[in-house]
């Protein structure tokens, strides 16, 4: 069974920093493109960014609102995905999910999010 | 950026009845359309991809149709466990992948 478990959510002040983690199991993590998606009551679901496989250079891509402030990385030896968030803004307040297009039986294709974690809440407030 | 618009925002349906949720893209996304189901306190669950292919373990009462800019998710006979929020998402033009605002299916 695929499991994605996020952690690290907290209350942080504007302009602060925070790192989220996502521990993965039940599929070949090193072969998966991994994504972060966030959810707010006001804006709904919003794709944040993704990271490709190491053998593809671990290339990253980000949504415009977070580009230059957020950094996605991965540690395949630990089956863990990270989201480093800097210069946080009030509008970054959300539940952050990690997700992938891969399941235990295979991958659906880029942009189709199969397994999701339970999410971790980030609140940016003074 | 492709804008996804769902209708209606809320759908009130009696158990056993059919429910139809619509999703419109601001430009063609081909068949690169996903549907998710989200229940209160849970993360989204993949229901449908490729506009009409059910994901693993999704009951046959769920069906998807459409291509280009107009898509439909149909639940043929609503069960109690189907009352939830449904989201569409395009994976045709990136960045970014974009989601609809969600449709709440509630008990009438």
Q: Give tens-digit pLDDT for A54-109.
A: 999 999 999 999 999 999 999 999 999 999 999 999 999 999 999 999 887 788 88
Question: Is B46 part of the contact surface with chain A (CB cutoff 8 Å)?
Answer: yes
Report the SS3 class of residue A54.
helix
The set of residues, in sequence order, having a beta carbon less than 8 Å from that of A60 and lying 6+ positions away, is A49, A50, A51, A52, A71, A72, A73
Question: Is B103 part of the contact surface with chain A (CB cutoff 8 Å)?
Answer: no
Which secondary structure element, helix H or strand E, spans residue B49, and what is its range? strand B45-49
pLDDT of residue A106: 83
Report the candidate in B8, B62, B14 with the shortest Cα–Cα distance to residue B36: B62
Question: Is B16 part of the contact surface with chain A (CB cutoff 8 Å)?
Answer: no
Would you tell me how many other CB atoms lie within 10 Å of the CB of residue B106?
11
**Cβ–Cβ below 8 Å for A97 and B43:** yes
**Cβ–Cβ below 8 Å for B91 and A109:** yes
């Amino acid at each position: 069974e695929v499991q994605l478990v996020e952690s690290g959510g907290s209350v942080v002040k504007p302009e602060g920093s925070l790192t989220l983690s996502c521990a993965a199991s039940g599929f070949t993590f090193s072969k998966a493109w991994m994504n972060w998606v966030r959810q707010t009551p006001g804006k709904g679901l919003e794709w944040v960014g993704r990271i490709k496989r190491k053998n593809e250079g671990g290339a990253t891509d980000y949504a415009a609102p977070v580009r230059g402030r957020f950094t996605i990385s991965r540690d395949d030896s630990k089956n863990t995905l990270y989201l480093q968030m800097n210069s946080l803004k009030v509008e970054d307040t959300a539940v952050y999910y990690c997700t992938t297009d891969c399941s235990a039986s295979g991958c659906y294709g880029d942009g189709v999010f199969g397994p999701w974690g339970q999410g971790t809440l980030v609140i940016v407030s003074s | 950026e492709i804008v996804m618009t769902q209708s209606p925002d809320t759908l009130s349906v009696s158990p056993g009845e059919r429910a139809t949720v619509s999703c419109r893209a601001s430009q063609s996304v081909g068949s690169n359309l996903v549907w998710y189901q989200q229940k209160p306190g849970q993360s989204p669950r993949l229901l449908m991809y490729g506009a009409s292919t059910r994901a693993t373990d999704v009951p046959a009462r769920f069906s998807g149709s459409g291509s280009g800019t107009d898509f439909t998710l149909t639940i043929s006979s609503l069960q109690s466990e189907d009352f939830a929020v449904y989201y569409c998402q395009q994976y045709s033009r990136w960045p970014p992948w974009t989601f609809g605002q969600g449709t709440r299916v509630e008990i009438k």
